[in-house]
């Protein structure tokens, strides 16, 4: 461990909040301060990724704040800085209202804290800051629909975080500690541990948008402004993913349970994305699928979250420019400067080499075996079919300025993939090409169904308020029952 630069780390955590306060007083400084905050965050994420650290901070004694700047936080901190930077660059030539930039800086600070917090109270505070900032960002255009979507999001978020806080209180009552490590204490008792974990997990799974507890996500992300959707799907969901991966790594007995929930989320999201005719809803349902894959394996989850967040942020930023109606997707052409970053993001999520998404999927495939590997393969083929649909639009000659934020994200996906290795393993290439070919074939079959079916494919509605509350209740009951029984194991 290198020398602990405590003062610098505390300054890094507080800087975006101080920048937001300064920007509220002097709006002309909002854009450069937001840009500086994003760059500093990305720089620390890059430093942690390069092996500097780990560092830890303990504030206010053993019952106070514990922050860990380590390998687990590195890809999420890097993702946070890069996505916010891309959103800022994407709107660089537009007049951006000061409150938006202030909220982005507050969101950046809350996410940074959520990624490095390893005591459950600090994590709760960070998640609440993220939730309030996201709520206000969704309201940016202040339409009646967005008001309802934002209030619905706030209701769900506050409900699950109340359950999370009850879990924290029960843990402290039985162990005298707020630390994540206290969950592994043998003296805690299996029954108490199961109840505490169920309460914590339902909060974190909902924040991350995973499976039944993430049914709030598709409509919220689809109806938000494009730049807000990019933040939500690119990095806000990671506020729940990073703690889930930390829990999975600290408590191996959780991994089979999270594996089951993650695969269920992957299949649910893909199934609904394949039936969508609205671009933003397709991307949002795909997020439900991809966050499920992130939690399958803590060893690969950070890289997978980074690859997905960069690609999905770019695709949502483009969705504000290229149109949402996929039924008319091939009627008009797409300028080359928009098509190239769109292809890059879509192919990365589909797992095409040499993009970063390929390496994330390759690592996940290598670490899973048995039935889990087979289900993952089905989800990968479905994902390839979802994104094959986006790559079929006719091309037009470039016109106007390229979208800076999306170009940056596309270059990061390509460059980081090439840095990992210039040439993928031969066996992986053949498998990937087979998955992509199967995905294209599935997409063509579905296209035939869409042409001859009227009305188009309709799936059960899962996004009403009672569905959201029911999904949270089902997840809480499921988690409680499975954990009390000692978790699940895949059959041999």
**pLDDT per residue as tens digits for the range 169-181:** 999 999 999 999 8
pLDDT at 339: 94
Q: How confident is the model at residue 186 (pLDDT cuts 50, 70, 90)?
A: confident
Cβ-count burial of 4 within 10 angstroms (0-12 exposed, 13-18 middle, 19+ buried)? middle
Q: How confident is the model at residue 401 (pLDDT cuts 50, 70, 90)?
A: confident
pLDDT at 13: 95
- 492 lies in some domain: no
- 1 lies in some domain: no
Q: Percentage of the chain with pLDDT > 70?
A: 96
What is the rounded average pLDDT of the residues 4-25?
93
pLDDT at 490: 40
Which value, in Å, is the radius of gyration of the alpha carbons in the chain? 21
Residue 335 is inside which H or E element, if any?
Answer: strand 334-335
Q: How confident is the model at residue 68 (pLDDT cuts 50, 70, 90)?
A: very high
What is the rounded average pLDDT of the residues 352-369?
94
- 216 lies in some domain: yes
Our count of domains for the chain comes to 1
Mean pLDDT (the chain) is: 92
Whether the per-residue pLDDT at 257 is higher than 80: the answer is yes
| Helix locations, 176-297, DSSP H | 190-208, 217-223, 226-231, 238-250, 255-274, 279-294
- 16 lies in some domain: yes
Q: Percentage of the chain with pLDDT > 90?
A: 75
Of the given ranges (63-72, 94-103, 248-257), which has the lowest mean pLDDT?
94-103
Supply φ then ψ for residue 141, to 5 degrees. -90, -10
pLDDT at 489: 43
**20: Cβ contacts below 8 Å, ≥ 6 apart:** 33, 102, 103, 105, 106, 109
Q: Which domain range does residue 143 map to?
A: 6-484
What is the rounded average pLDDT of the residues 28-55?
94
Residue 59 is inside which H or E element, if any?
Answer: strand 55-59
Q: How confident is the model at residue 368 (pLDDT cuts 50, 70, 90)?
A: very high
What is the rounded average pLDDT of the residues 445-451?
87
pLDDT at 98: 64
Whether the per-residue pLDDT at 483 is higher than 90: the answer is no
pLDDT at 456: 54
Whether the per-residue pLDDT at 491 is higher than 50: the answer is no
Please report where in the chains the tokens 């106070």 appear, as a residue: 64
Of the given ranges (285-299, 354-368, 396-410), which has the lowest mean pLDDT?
396-410
- 167 lies in some domain: yes
Cα 64 from Cα 278, distance rounded (Å): 46
CA 478 to chain CA centroid, Å, is 23
pLDDT at 167: 96
What is the rounded average pLDDT of the residues 186-203?
91
- Could you tell me the sign of the dihedral formed by the alpha carbons of 302, 248, 488, 366, in that order? positive
Closest CA to 222 of 279, 269, 276: 279
CA 453 to chain CA centroid, Å, is 34
What is the rounded average pLDDT of the residues 303-329?
95
pLDDT at 487: 47
- 318 lies in some domain: yes
């Amino acid at each position: 461990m290198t020398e602990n630069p405590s003062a610098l780390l505390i300054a890094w955590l507080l800087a975006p909040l101080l920048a937001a306060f300064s920007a509220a007083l002097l709006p002309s400084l909002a854009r450069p301060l937001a840009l500086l905050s994003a760059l500093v965050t990305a720089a620390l994420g890059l430093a942690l990724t390069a092996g500097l650290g780990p560092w830890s901070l303990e504030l206010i004694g053993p019952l106070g704040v514990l922050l860990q700047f380590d390998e687990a936080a590195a890809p999420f901190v890097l993702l946070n800085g890069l996505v916010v930077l891309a959103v800022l660059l994407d709107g660089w030539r537009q007049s951006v209202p000061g409150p938006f930039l202030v909220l982005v800086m507050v969101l950046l600070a809350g996410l940074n804290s959520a990624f490095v917090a390893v005591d459950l109270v600090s994590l709760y505070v960070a998640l609440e800051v993220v939730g309030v900032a996201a709520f206000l960002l969704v309201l940016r255009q202040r339409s009646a629909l967005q008001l309802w979507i934002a209030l619905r999001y706030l209701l769900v978020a506050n409900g699950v975080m109340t359950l999370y806080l009850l879990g924290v209180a029960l843990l402290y009552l039985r162990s005298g500690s707020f630390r994540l490590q206290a969950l592994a204490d043998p003296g805690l008792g299996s029954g108490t541990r199961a109840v505490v974990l169920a309460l914590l997990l339902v909060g974190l799974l909902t924040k991350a948008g995973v499976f039944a507890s993430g049914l709030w996500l598709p409509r919220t992300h689809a109806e938000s402004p494009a730049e807000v959707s990019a933040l939500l799907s690119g990095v806000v969901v990671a506020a729940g993913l990073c703690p889930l991966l930390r829990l999975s790594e600290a408590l191996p007995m959780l991994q089979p349970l999270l594996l089951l929930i993650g695969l269920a989320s992957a299949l649910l999201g893909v199934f609904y994305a394949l039936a969508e005719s609205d671009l933003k809803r397709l991307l949002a349902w795909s997020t439900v699928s991809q966050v499920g894959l992130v939690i399958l394996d803590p060893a690969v989850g950070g890289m997978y979250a980074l690859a997905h967040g960069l690609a999905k942020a770019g695709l949502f930023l483009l969705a504000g420019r290229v149109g949402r109606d996929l039924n008319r997707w091939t009627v008009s052409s797409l300028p080359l400067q928009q098509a190239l970053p769109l292809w890059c993001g879509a192919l990365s999520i589909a797992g095409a080499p040499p993009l970063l998404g390929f390496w994330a999927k390759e690592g996940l495939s290598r670490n899973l075996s048995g039935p889990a590997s087979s289900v993952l393969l089905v989800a990968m083929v479905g994902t390839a079919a979802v994104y094959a649909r986006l790559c079929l639009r006719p091309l037009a000659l470039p016109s106007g300025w390229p979208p800076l934020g999306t170009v940056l994200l596309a270059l990061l996906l390509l460059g980081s993939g090439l840095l990992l290795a210039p040439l993928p393993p031969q066996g992986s290439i053949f498998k990937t090409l087979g998955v992509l070919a199967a995905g294209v074939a599935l997409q063509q079959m579905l296209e035939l169904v869409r042409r001859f079916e009227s009305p188009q494919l309709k799936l059960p509605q899962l996004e009403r308020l009672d569905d959201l509350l029911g999904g949270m209740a089902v997840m809480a009951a499921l988690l409680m029952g499975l954990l009390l029984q000692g978790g699940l194991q895949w059959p041999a």
